[in-house]
Amino acid sequence: MDQQAAPTAKRGTRFGLSGARSAVVKRARAVACVPLAAALFAAAIVAVIPDRYTASAMIQTDPLRKAPTPTVEDDAASSDTLASEAERKEIETQMEFLQSASILDAVAAELHLADDPEFNKRSMFSRVMALFRSPAPGEDLRAAILNRLSISRVRSTFLVDVHFTSADGAKSARIANAIANQFLAQRPSPIAKAAVAVRKPGELTASERMFSSLVEKYGSAVTFAGPRIVTTASPHVRAAGPKRIRIVAITGGSALLLTIMLALWLEREALLRTRKVEKTLACPHMISIPAMAPPSDPLASARGARMIVAEPQGIYADAVRKVCNELGQRKREETAHETEHATGRVILVASALPDEGSEIFASNIAHYFAVSALQTLLVDCDFRGKGLTRELTPQTSGGLLNQIAARAPIEDAILRDCLTGLHFLPASGPAPIPLAVPTAIRSLEFSSAITGLKSRFPIIVLSAPPLLPISDARVLAELADDIVFLTAWHRTPQSLARKALTLLEANQKKVVGAVLTDVAEDQATGIMSFAAIFDEIRRAARISTIERAA
pLDDT 10s digits, 157-179 = 889 999 999 999 999 999 999 99
Locate all alpha helices (DSSP H) within 201-343, ordered by sequence. 206-217, 244-281, 298-304, 307-310, 315-335
| 144-153, 308-317, 539-548: the lowest-pLDDT one | 539-548
Encode pLDDT of 342-393 as tens digits.
578 999 999 999 989 899 999 999 999 999 989 999 999 999 999 999 989 9
Considering the domain architecture, whether residues 298 and 191 belong to the same structural domain is answered as: no
Considering the domain architecture, whether residues 378 and 460 belong to the same structural domain is answered as: yes
| Residue at a domain's end among 212, 231, 250 | 231
Considering the domain architecture, whether residues 95 and 122 belong to the same structural domain is answered as: yes
Considering the domain architecture, whether residues 289 and 301 belong to the same structural domain is answered as: yes
**pLDDT range class, residue 287, cuts 50, 70, 90:** confident
Element (H or E) spanning 37, and its range? helix 28-47
Number of residues that make up the chain: 550
Considering the domain architecture, whether residues 28 and 115 belong to the same structural domain is answered as: no
Considering the domain architecture, whether residues 143 and 255 belong to the same structural domain is answered as: no
- Looking at the predicted structure, is the pLDDT value of residue 189 above 80? no
- Looking at the predicted structure, is the pLDDT value of residue 43 above 80? yes
* pLDDT score recorded for residue 194: 39
**pLDDT range class, residue 484, cuts 50, 70, 90:** very high
**Looking at the domain assignment, is residue 179 inside a domain?**
yes
**Looking at the domain assignment, is residue 89 inside a domain?**
yes
* pLDDT score recorded for residue 63: 62
- Looking at the predicted structure, is the pLDDT value of residue 114 above 70? yes
**Looking at the domain assignment, is residue 513 inside a domain?**
yes
- Looking at the predicted structure, is the pLDDT value of residue 78 above 60? no
Cα separation values, 457 from 411, 424, 450, 453, 476, Å = 11, 11, 10, 6, 18
* pLDDT score recorded for residue 23: 84
**Looking at the domain assignment, is residue 184 inside a domain?**
yes
* pLDDT score recorded for residue 41: 95
**pLDDT range class, residue 493, cuts 50, 70, 90:** confident
Encode pLDDT of 532-545 as tens digits.
777 777 766 665 65
| 186-195, 423-432, 510-519: the lowest-pLDDT one | 186-195
- Residue 437: which domain range? 282-336+346-524
DSSP 467: T
Cα separation values, 216 from 161, 206, 213, Å = 17, 16, 5
- Looking at the predicted structure, is the pLDDT value of residue 524 above 50? no
* pLDDT score recorded for residue 10: 42
* pLDDT score recorded for residue 152: 93
- Looking at the predicted structure, is the pLDDT value of residue 397 above 60? yes
**Looking at the domain assignment, is residue 208 inside a domain?**
yes
Considering the domain architecture, whether residues 294 and 208 belong to the same structural domain is answered as: no
Interhelix angle for 244-281 vs 17-26, to 10°? 110
Considering the domain architecture, whether residues 102 and 251 belong to the same structural domain is answered as: no
Nearest in space to 173 (alpha carbons), one of 54, 51, 50, 52: 54
- The torsion defined by the Cα of 371, 376, 377 and 378, in degrees rounded to 10, comes to -50
Looking at per-residue pLDDT, the higher value among 536 and 291 belongs to 536
* pLDDT score recorded for residue 7: 39
**Looking at the domain assignment, is residue 2 inside a domain?**
no
- Looking at the predicted structure, is the pLDDT value of residue 293 above 80? no
φ, ψ of residue 422 to 5 degrees: the values are -75, 135
* pLDDT score recorded for residue 247: 93
* pLDDT score recorded for residue 332: 72
Cα separation values, 300 from 103, 200, 293, 295, 307, Å = 78, 99, 6, 8, 10
Encode pLDDT of 44-69 as tens digits.
999 988 889 999 999 988 765 444 44
Q: Is the distance from CB of 266 to CB of 537 less than 8 angstroms?
A: yes
Q: What's the burial of 381, exposed, middle or buried (CB within 10 Å: 0-12/13-18/19+)?
A: buried
Instruction: Measure the CA–CA gap between 187 and 62, rounded to whole angstroms.
Output: 9
* pLDDT score recorded for residue 57: 94
Amino acid at 362: A
| Residue at a domain's end among 167, 202, 231 | 231
Looking at per-residue pLDDT, the higher value among 209 and 391 belongs to 391
Instruction: Measure the CA–CA gap between 476 and 505, rounded to whole angstroms.
Output: 13
Considering the domain architecture, whether residues 76 and 44 belong to the same structural domain is answered as: no
Share of the chain above pLDDT 90, in %: 40
* pLDDT score recorded for residue 193: 42
Looking at per-residue pLDDT, the higher value among 215 and 480 belongs to 480
DSSP notation for 401-417: HHHHHHT--GGGG-EE-
Residue 143, number of CB atoms within 10 A of its CB: 15
**Looking at the domain assignment, is residue 77 inside a domain?**
yes
Considering the domain architecture, whether residues 289 and 391 belong to the same structural domain is answered as: yes
Considering the domain architecture, whether residues 271 and 294 belong to the same structural domain is answered as: no
Q: Is the distance from CB of 504 to CB of 477 less than 8 angstroms?
A: yes
Number of domains in the chain: 3
Q: What is the mean pLDDT of residues 85-94?
A: 84
- Looking at the predicted structure, is the pLDDT value of residue 523 above 60? no
**Looking at the domain assignment, is residue 10 inside a domain?**
no
Amino acid at 374: L
* pLDDT score recorded for residue 132: 65
Q: Supply the CATH number for residue 383's domain.
A: 3.40.50.300
- Looking at the predicted structure, is the pLDDT value of residue 427 above 90? yes
Considering the domain architecture, whether residues 257 and 371 belong to the same structural domain is answered as: no
Q: What is the mean pLDDT of residues 95-111?
A: 93
Between vectors from CA 58 to CA 55 and to CA 61, what angle results, nearest 5°?
145
3-class SS at 468? coil
- Looking at the predicted structure, is the pLDDT value of residue 5 above 90? no
Amino acid at 79: S
Cis peptide before 458 (omega within 30 of 0): no
